[in-house]
């Protein structure tokens, strides 16, 4: 059995894995796991990933969780072009630095922004206190400034002159607040120019394909009672 990727393109790390595999011509079977339907909690999926999260990878008898681990596994197994995860010690360290930072910074603020601004009020019909949203947007702005000042600087891409997995992880994160109607690039010309370079490097068609689901999330019909109950713990967490 060949490579299987368990993904839901509503998820930003799943989009990064999807884009990377497609861009590099890596053959895989897409196994869609619908997060909003709770399919990641099924017993069958738990056999692939006991953490019950996507993305997940199955390569023969080998299974792997966590998006960064999956991306790096793919770079090594398929010997993708060096720029994705450079052999140069310091260039690779820059990629690693961003991947280590983003988990508790940009990932958190982008996720909270998308849920508080769109999915909680529109999909779950749950009121978000204005002060909570304001605090989340302020934190997002702080993280965007760090992304520019610390990581992008005056470079074409986050780790230097060429696109890397760090850029894929970053851009897929930023499309979460974009999908909720936040024009985060409007007053950030440096970041806007970087986004255009990333899209061009990936290919516009592939970029749009990977983000079609999240960009249509605002049109989701309201959740039914069972789904609201299932997502209640997550909603409470995202309002803290």
Which residues fall within 8 angstroms of residue 142, CB to CB, at 6 or more apart?
Answer: 109
Classified as helix, coil or strand, 104 is coil
Asked if residue 7 lies in contact with residue 34, where contact means CB atoms within 8 angstroms, the answer is no
- Which residues make beta-bridge pairs with 165? none
Position 171 scores a pLDDT of 98
Position 178 scores a pLDDT of 98
pLDDT in tens, 131-186: 999 999 999 999 999 999 999 999 999 999 999 999 999 999 999 999 999 999 99
Q: Is the pLDDT of residue 1 over 90?
A: no
Spatial separation of the C-alpha atoms in residues 165 and 16, rounded to whole Å: 8
Asked if residue 9 lies in contact with residue 210, where contact means CB atoms within 8 angstroms, the answer is yes
Position 230 scores a pLDDT of 87
Classified as helix, coil or strand, 45 is helix
| Buried-state track 79-89, b at ≥16 Cβ within 10 A, e below 16 | ebeebbbbeee
pLDDT in tens, 65-117: 999 999 999 999 999 999 999 999 999 999 999 999 998 999 999 999 999 99
**Domains along the chain with CATH numbers:** 3-80 (3.40.30.10), 89-239 (1.20.1050.10)
Position 78 scores a pLDDT of 97
The reported pTM is 0.96
Position 240 scores a pLDDT of 83
Cβ neighbours around 140 below 10 Å, total: 23
Summarize the confidence of residues 124-132 as an average pLDDT. 95
């Amino acid at each position: 059995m060949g490579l299987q990727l368990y993904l839901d393109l509503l998820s930003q790390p799943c989009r990064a894995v999807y884009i990377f595999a497609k861009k590099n011509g890596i053959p895989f079977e897409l196994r869609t796991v619908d997060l909003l339907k709770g399919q990641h909690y099924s017993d069958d999926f738990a056999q692939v990933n006991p953490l019950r999260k996507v993305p997940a990878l199955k390569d023969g008898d080998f299974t792997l969780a966590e998006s960064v681990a999956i991306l790096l596994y793919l770079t090594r197994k398929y010997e993708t072009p060096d720029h994705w995860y450079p052999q140069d010690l310091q260039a690779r360290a820059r990629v690693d630095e961003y991947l280590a930072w983003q988990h508790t910074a940009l990932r958190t603020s982008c996720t909270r922004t998308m849920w508080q601004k769109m999915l909680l009020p529109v999909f779950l019909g749950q009121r978000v206190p204005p002060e909570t949203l304001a605090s989340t947007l302020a934190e997002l702005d702080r993280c965007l400034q760090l992304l520019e000042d610390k990581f992008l600087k005056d470079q074409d891409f986050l780790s230097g002159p060429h696109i890397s997995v760090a850029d894929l992880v970053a851009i897929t994160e930023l499309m979460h607040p974009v999908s909720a109607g936040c024009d985060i690039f409007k007053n950030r010309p440096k970041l806007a120019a970087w986004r255009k370079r990333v899209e061009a490097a990936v290919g516009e068609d592939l970029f749009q394909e990977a983000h079609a689901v999240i960009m249509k999330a605002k049109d989701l019909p309201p959740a039914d009672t069972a789904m609201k109950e299932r997502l209640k713990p997550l909603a409470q967490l995202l309002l803290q």
